[in-house]
A and B are shown apart, each in its own frame.
Chain A
Amino acid sequence: MKNAASLLIFVCATAALVLAGDFDAFKTKVITTSTFPSGFSTDVPDHYFLRIYNLTQQNNGSTTQRGVVIAAAATPTATPTPSPTPTCSPSPCTPTPTPTCSPSPCTPTPTPTPTPTPTPTSPPRAVLTAAIIDPASTPEFIKQVVVDGPAHVTVQPVTNATLVLTYKRVAEPTPSPTPAPPATATPTPTPTTTTSSQATMVFEAVPSNDGTTNSPTPTPTPITPEPAATSTPTPTATPSITPTPSPTPMPTP
């Protein structure tokens, strides 16, 4: 029993090492028309990327064609979405009555088969051309390229030429969860009323649709100013003049 468990662990570890070596290792392929299989083709799975380090071409005869790396986007693996559990009210649910038909047995109603909608995928594109290695001429740039998965990458052979391709398939690093920033209390804006000589802005709490009262988001409500009433000046009362009695002459003795 103990030996069987040890053997199982050894097999699993070996398989993991083989799989890791297949992906996270440099690979160099020589591509000619005479080699079998002709050309190069590889699949880059989801959450992996393919980094091409160099693609060079040595012409063995007269050729004007260059090797090309062609990448085609593949459809990502679908993530199953949980189907919602049907709920009913009032609880418990009443069973749906089974339809009865006559004559019996029922003839099944043909259900229309849904037409599959084609998944839009971008057409294959050339992402890199080979650099010609010719000892008699000025060297060309040897460029690198990265192809993100899921994708299908191919290189077709070129007649009278030998292509050399070096690449590596790398797993994308899993993103580490970032710590949530400490919650900072935001001050609740106090509804205030500001007045100006031109217009009045009133900030008021707007009740939410679900009936709950949230902390109010200030909603500026412009209020057009009412025209100032032009008051008619009240006439000030003119003081009436009280006549001063004229002094009566006193008789002299």
Chain B
Amino acid sequence: MMRGVVMVTTPPSSGTTVNVLAAAVLNPAQQPEVINNVVIAGPADVVVTCGASSMKNCFISYKKDSN
């Protein structure tokens, strides 16, 4: 089972792409998982992918802010 991830590329378009966050799966039949949050300083490219086809409903909250 592959989860959705948040990938960051820094510096944008030329740097290393790395996963910084994996989605928490909500399954009422299992123990609740931790819902993490991360802060990414710009400039960076951020890409969010959803997981496997069985977990197509992904939900993300984010805010782009200045220092």
Residues of chain A at the chain B interface (Cβ within 8 Å): 21, 24-28, 30, 32, 35, 53-54, 56, 58, 131, 133-136, 138-142, 162, 164, 166
When the two chains form their complex, are residues B39 and A135 in contact, meaning their CB atoms are under 8 A apart?
no
Query: Whole-angstrom distance between the alpha carbons of A133 and B34 in the complex?
Result: 13
Asked if B39 and A131 sit within 8 Å, CB to CB, the answer is no
Complex contact B16–A131 (CB within 8 A): no
Verify B67–A26 contact, CB threshold 8 A: yes
Q: Does B29 count as interface, using CB distance less than 8 angstroms?
A: no
**B8 is contacted by which of A24, A28, A134 (Cβ under 8 Å)?**
A28
Asked if B39 and A53 make an inter-chain contact with CB atoms under 8 angstroms apart, the answer reads yes
Is B21 part of the contact surface with A, judged by Cβ < 8 Å?
A: yes
> B41 to A30, Cβ gap below 8 A?
no
Nearest chain B residue, comparing its CB with the CB of A35: B16
Assess whether B38 is in contact with A53, with CB atoms less than 8 Å apart: yes
Q: Is there an interface contact between B22 and A166, defined as CB atoms closer than 8 Å?
A: no
Q: Are B41 and A28 within 8 A (Cβ)?
A: yes
Across the interface, which residues of B come within 8 angstroms of A54, CB to CB?
Answer: 20, 36, 38-39
What is the count of residue pairs linking A and B with beta-carbon distances less than 8 angstroms?
78
Tell me the smallest distance from the CB of B62 to a CB of chain A, in Å.
Answer: 14
For B41, give its contact among A27, A32, A58, A142 (CB under 8 Å).
A27
CB of B29 to closest CB in A, whole Å: 14
- Check A136/B18 contact, CB under 8 A, given A28-B10, A164-B8, A166-B38: no
Out of B21, B41, B51, name the residue touching A26 (CB < 8 Å). B41
Majority secondary structure, B binding face: loop
A26-B39, A142-B37 are known; give 18 further A-B pairs, CB within 8 A.
A21-B67, A26-B67, A28-B39, A30-B16, A54-B38, A133-B20, A135-B4, A135-B5, A136-B2, A138-B33, A139-B3, A139-B24, A139-B34, A139-B36, A141-B34, A141-B36, A142-B21, A142-B38
B8 to chain A minimum Cβ distance, whole angstroms, is: 7
B47 interfacial contact with A, CB 8 Å: no
Per-residue A-contact encoding for B1-15, CB less than 8 Å = 1, 0 else: 111110010100001
B44 interface contact, C-beta 8 A: yes
CB-nearest residue of chain A relative to B3?
Answer: A135
Q: Are B16 and A32 interface neighbours, CB within 8 A?
A: yes
Bound CA span A27–B41, Å: 5
In-complex Cβ contact of A135 among B22, B42, B44 (8 A): B22
Report B33-62 CB contacts with A as 1/0, cut-off 8 Å: 110111111101000000100000000000
5 nearest CB pairs, A to B: A26-B41, A28-B41, A53-B39, A142-B36, A135-B3
Residues of A within 8 A of B16 (CB): 30, 32, 35, 162
Listed by A's residue number, 16 A-B pairs whose Cβ atoms lie within 8 Å are A21-B67, A26-B41, A30-B18, A53-B39, A54-B39, A56-B19, A135-B2, A135-B3, A135-B5, A136-B2, A139-B3, A142-B38, A162-B16, A162-B18, A164-B20, A166-B41
